[in-house]
Structure formats: C-alpha cells, structure tokens
Amino acid sequence: MVFALCGGDERAVRLAALLLAGGHGVRAWALEGAQLPGGARRCESAEECCRGADCVVLPMPMCARRGMLNAPLSQRPRCLGEVFAACGAGCVVCGGAVGEDAREMAAGAHVRLRDYGALESFRAANSAATAEGAIGVLLRETPGLLCGREALLIGAGRVARALAPRLRGLGLGVTVASRSADSRAWARALGFGACAPEELSQYLPYAGIVVNTAPALVLTASRLTELAPDALVLDLASAPGGTDFEAAKAFGIRTLTAPGLPAKWSPEAAAAAVRDAVYRIMEDETT
C-alpha cells in the first residue's frame, strides 16, 4: 500500500520508518523540517502527496486550530481543506481526535474520514505513553525525590488510570479525585486514596504534586490558594486545561503544561500505536 503522511510531529517521522519497514510506500507533505527516513518521498504539494494513495494519515491531534492541519514540522501553516481537496472522492483518511467541523469538511470533499484516536487499543497505548512522559516531566522538574511525596490526580480517565500505579511504584502516595462514585470506588479497591471534587480542600494542602487530567476548570483561583507554596501543578488536559494559569502565576505557584507527551518521550511507541490503529482501520475498510 501507499501511505500519504501529512503534517504531524516526531510520531510522523517514526511512522514513516515503520511503514517502510512493513514494505509500504510512503509519501510525506507538510513535514519540511523533519529528518525523514530514506525511502520516504517528500512532496511539494498536498496534491502530489495524496492523489492515488491508499490511505492518508493525519496527526494526533489532527487540527492545530479550527480548519488548520496540525503541522509543527512544516515551514508554514497548512489548511486541512487543502488535504481533503487533494485526496479525491472515496479516499480513506485517518486522523486523531477528529472534530465535528473536520467531519463536515471531509463529507463535503467526499472522503472517508476515520478517527484512529477513537479506537480503544490506541487510547490504551497512548495513555501509557502519556503517563510515562508525565513521569519524565515530574522527574525533570522536581529538585528532590518524588518518593515520599503526596500526589493528587484530578480526573479518573485513561491517563489517570495509567499514571496512578506508576506514581505509586515510585513511592508516592496517590489520591484520585473524581466526580464518579464508581471511579472513586475502583481507586480505593486498587489501593489508592479517593475523593470527590467538593472534598479537594482536604487534600490540596498536603499535595506536593497535582496532576490534572480533567478537561474542565477545576483548579480555580480559590482552589489554588489551598496549595502549599512549593506544590507543582502539571496540567495534562486538552487546551485550555483545567487550571487558572493566570491566578497560579499571580500566586507564585509553579504550573506546567505538557502537550504531545507521547511524541516527545516515546515517539517510537506512539508511532507504533498509530500504525496499528491505521492498519486496523484499513482492514475494516477493505473487508
């Protein structure tokens, strides 16, 4: 098969190598700043890259902002519509975190847009890579040992479920804050502390590390005042995150965001997760 890779970060570079190793043809566009593996064909236009390809692979997430391809390794901004227009009717396009506006654009171009980010197998692998990347960030940003500290995880989704046991393995005490009574029950069953959002005041003063994974404003200005002065907040939620960053700055509380952790800390594994998800989609499309 011929795969057209449009945009993306280091995951796209590693994905190109994996696809070539699998015996496939690889074309690349909007990756001018990437060190592509030998055998990958650089294209000057989306038309050259996509026309006649068996599958067009877009990044995770697919869009940098509304209507714009996520292409941090490109020399200039790229429009998502440019990719769809180049594909041709009936072309299979695989992207991550597909939004409704992108679906409408794809429908207008008569391409078959599929979200590999919606596959549970991909989500599991991506969550593990995100959790390991988060630990890398915490190790880098914490002057002392992580062992012995108290960590508060806000949210109980896939990333939190992957991160909690890893933090405990490093010797941290871990409490999971979740709106879901079932999630809190599971956290306790697995040996973690658990609390509801309205109980955060009882835990924030003792948390040396707070990791937010909830895609809503949880760490408001009033909540931030409850933190210890030396606490570190790592916000892993999608933009705009769940932290009042302006208030944190005013209070002198150290806050970090860490977008694209899988690409930065484990690009090979992250690329393999994309490859496997795309293979599964292509298998479903051709059977």
Structure tokens at 85: 């227009």
**Half-sphere exposure for 99 (CA within 13 Å, toward CB):** 15
Chain-centre distance for alpha carbon 163: 14
Would you state the pLDDT for residue 66?
A: 86
The predicted-structure confidence for 17-43, as pLDDT tens digits, reads as follows 999 999 999 999 999 999 999 999 999
- Tell me the pLDDT tens digit for each residue of 74-98: 999 999 999 999 998 999 999 999 9
For residue 19, what pLDDT is reported? 98
Q: Tell me what pLDDT residue 104 has.
A: 94
Torsion angle of alpha carbons 51, 53, 58, 63, nearest 10°? Answer: 20
123-263 shares the fold of 2-118: yes
Question: Which residues does the chain have with pLDDT short of 50?
Answer: none
What's the pLDDT score for residue 176? Answer: 98
Q: Is 100 exposed, middle or buried (0-12, 13-18, 19+ CB in 10 A)?
A: exposed
Domain boundaries, the chain: 2-118, 123-263
Domain range 123-263, CATH architecture = 3-Layer(aba) Sandwich (3.40)
CATH class of 2-118: alpha beta
Residue 105 contacts residue 80 (beta carbons within 8 Å)? yes
Residue 146 sits at the vertex; the CA angle it makes with 176 and 128, to the nearest 5 degrees, is: 55
